[in-house]
Amino acid sequence: MKQVSDSQSVALFTGADRSTKVSKLTALASSVSLALGLGLIVPSVAFAESVEDFPSKPIRFVTPYPPGGSHSLHAGIITTVSEGVFGQPMISITRAGGGGVVGAAEVANAKADGYTLLFGDPTINSLRPQVEDLPFEVEDFIPVARINYSPAVFVVRADAPFGTMKEMVEFAKKNPDELVYSSDNLNGWTYTVFELLKVKTDTKMRGVEFGGGGPAVTQLLGGNTMAYAGDPSVVGDHVASGALKALCVTDTEAWPAMPDVKTCQELGYDVVFQFWRGVMVPKDTPAPIVSKLSEGFAKLVEDPGFVSLISKINSKIDFADHEQFSKLFAAEVDNMKAIADSTGK
């Protein structure tokens, strides 16, 4: 096709036939507009060629939390295996800050072309945008695929003055605000879990926010706090080594990697909270790209290397594709608002 420079394009409209050319262009624009309205021209058809080639360059996989937590552990595994599935490298990028806000805002404002993904979760995507003034809304993201979910595990140091859930609750009742626990972020996952426990047991405990699961468990191990509720992938090895003791898990059944740890419900504490990890893209990302990404992640979670690595961090796979994840996410948005209301936050 012949290329026309800016100066030449101006010249096209500077002759005696200017009005004729403008009239023809106006008529053409009207015809195209009518065809689009009638569905005779489908915009996605023009996009189809690029969809076939997608991805044609590396994909940015943004984790909004600091290293050492469950997100960074899972992101490392995903990006290690992904090139064999997508045919392009997936670059793991940590954008910690504001309890996930910095990374999520970056993705929300990124070009909606499928090349910038957010490794999201229920607090940064469905809870906090509803109860805080954040630079993004729930609707600013499209769910692509849920990779898995995890419960929280209540843990304490091996030398804590309590060794069971009952003993910890009794300590909190007898010593209001003296039990200091590690938390991630305001309205974050572990923050919410402890808020639920306090509401259910009518106790007063004091949380200290450290910005993520990695720093939070480090503070517990260092003796600066007395308890924590963290992901099995973060606390599992410390429980196995004897440095921490697991009290109960916030799932409806025993966690496969920690089968001897009872659920909180089994011990009489109605605290259930399941923390999903999923891939989100900016709103307005073309549907064909969303579908192709979803299909890619469906293949990724079946990759033998991925399955092996996930099992080594005390985690598991519970995949949901774009359609399934979208329905789950929509229902959860309402549930997260209910949790915030019940805790008074």
pLDDT tens track for 278-312 = 999 999 999 999 999 999 999 999 999 999 999 99
170: pLDDT strictly greater than 70: yes
Measure the CA–CA gap between 266 and 275, rounded to whole angstroms: 19
- All structural domains of the chain: 57-149+277-343 (3.40.190.150), 153-272 (3.40.190.10)
Helix (H, G, I), strand (E, B) or coil at 263: strand
Give the other-Cβ count within 10 Å of 95's Cβ: 20
Q: What angle do CA 46, 50, 52 make, to 5 degrees?
A: 110
pTM: 0.73
Measure the CA–CA gap between 336 and 345, rounded to whole angstroms: 11
179: pLDDT strictly greater than 70: yes
Q: What angle do CA 274, 300, 106 make, to 5 degrees?
A: 65
CB proximity list for 319: less than 8 A, separation 6 or greater: 145, 146, 147, 148, 297, 298, 301
Could you identify the residue written with the tokens 């945008």?
129
> Please, which residues bridge with residue 80 across strands?
none
**What pLDDT does residue 309 have?**
94
CB-CB contact of 116 with 141 (8 Å): no
29-49 pLDDT, tens digit each: 444 344 434 444 444 444 444
- Within 13 Å, how many C-alpha atoms sit on residue 139's CB side? 0
CB-CB contact of 92 with 35 (8 Å): no
Give the other-Cβ count within 10 Å of 258's Cβ: 18
CB-CB contact of 61 with 92 (8 Å): yes
- The 8-class DSSP code of residue 203 comes to -
Helix (H, G, I), strand (E, B) or coil at 56: coil
Alpha-carbon Rg for the chain, nearest whole angstrom, is 25
- State the pLDDT confidence band at 19, using cuts at 50, 70 and 90: very low
Pick from 332, 322, 281, 290: which is nearest to 146 by CA? 322
Give the other-Cβ count within 10 Å of 162's Cβ: 18
**What pLDDT does residue 22 have?**
37
Share of the chain above pLDDT 90, in %: 67
Measure the CA–CA gap between 303 and 241, rounded to whole angstroms: 30
**What pLDDT does residue 342 have?**
62
> Please, which residues bridge with residue 151 across strands?
274
Measure the CA–CA gap between 152 and 169, rounded to whole angstroms: 17
**What pLDDT does residue 339 have?**
64
- The 8-class DSSP code of residue 262 comes to P
CB-CB contact of 177 with 206 (8 Å): yes
Measure the CA–CA gap between 146 and 144, rounded to whole angstroms: 7
For the packed helices 189-201 and 322-343, what is the interaxial angle rounded to 10 degrees?
A: 50
210-266 pLDDT, tens digit each: 988 889 999 999 999 999 999 998 999 999 999 999 999 999 899 998 999 999 999
> Taking the mean position of all CA atoms in its chain, how far away is CA 282?
13
**What pLDDT does residue 196 have?**
87
* Alpha-carbon dihedral angle through residues 61, 67, 73, 74, given to the nearest 10 degrees: -30
**Phi-psi group of 197: left, alpha or beta (phi > 0 → left; psi -120 to 50 → alpha; rest → beta):** alpha
